[in-house]
Chain A
Amino acid sequence: MEDACVLIVESNILVRQPLAEYLRECGYRVAEAANVTEARQLLREKKITVDIVLADAAADQEGCFALASWIRTALPGVEMIMAGTVAKMAGDAGELCEEGPAETTPYDHKQVLDRIKRAIAARDRQKR
């Protein structure tokens, strides 16, 4: 898929910015949100077309799950990958996100990239 856009939801700029830069280097468009509220606003306003959301649930687990639920209902074409360190979260995330379980943090950039590729490929297969 050309020109896919990844929305990173991450509260720590020192984590968000290097990951965003890495994904841009890999050819993706990347939007950034510092929290779930910002992510919802970006997605709702649709001025940027987002294909996949990568959200770290560590800072706001409840908000992140609510975001995943909302995306599943309101934006069925958008994939979501959840990240976090909470063990229980992995199973829960698997139910809400297409490609569960959760990605672990701190991020392994290459692993995140592979995950994004797989999620987008899976979505494109479903579309056919």
Chain B
Amino acid sequence: MVRLTNVGMKFNLGIEKSFSFKELFIKTFSFKKKKKKTEYFWALKNINLDIKKGEVIGFVGSNGAGKSTLLKVVSGVMKPSTGKVEVNGVISPMIELGAGFDVELTARENIFLNGAVLGYSEKFIKEKYQEIVDFSELHDFLEAPIKNFSSGMIARLAFSIATIVNPEILIVDEILSVGDINFQEKSRKKMQEMIDGGTTVLYVSHALDSVRSICTRAVWLEHGEIKMIGDTNEVCEAYYKQEMKN
């Protein structure tokens, strides 16, 4: 379903600094000719991963370990610097909820805009519009611009739009912690439904409990490399131990 072979992702840390005339000026007129040092940062190194249909894979690791970069590479947002990513199936990326919302527009308008961003067809959204509204429970606020919404309401709306499809591959990055308890429960249930329906899930979370409860396999990433892969409980245990030591 998803196969990563030798995937590496290189970022050039020097990029921010280049292209300023100040720098150019200093460089041109300084006596010491310093060789331009490019600093590279490998957000991902040598990732080999084979994800089968129906698997629910959890990614754990500390901040900056490369979890989100990995999801972005899989969803096609970023091209890997080395290696190959093969994806076979329709992806629904929930990397950040509400990416593509326009705060000036109303909830109704945003449902269509965001649906288009996620690649739904016009016909599909029209059919599913009521279902999205029902799931989000935002009936009373459909005509209000979402700049007046609370972050929880925005998350509700975004989650409802993103999960209306039955994607073959679902990419979830740290989003189930949004909304009130009622909605958290509701969204967890919805996700479980999708998993039961055979959706392959790539799940990133810092909440080890939720990783334990839904994932069939876990990957522990550290400094861009896979440190451990295997049974969810073992990986979580090992990761937890190391984190506590530091």
A binds B: no
B-side residues, CB < 8 A to A, are: none
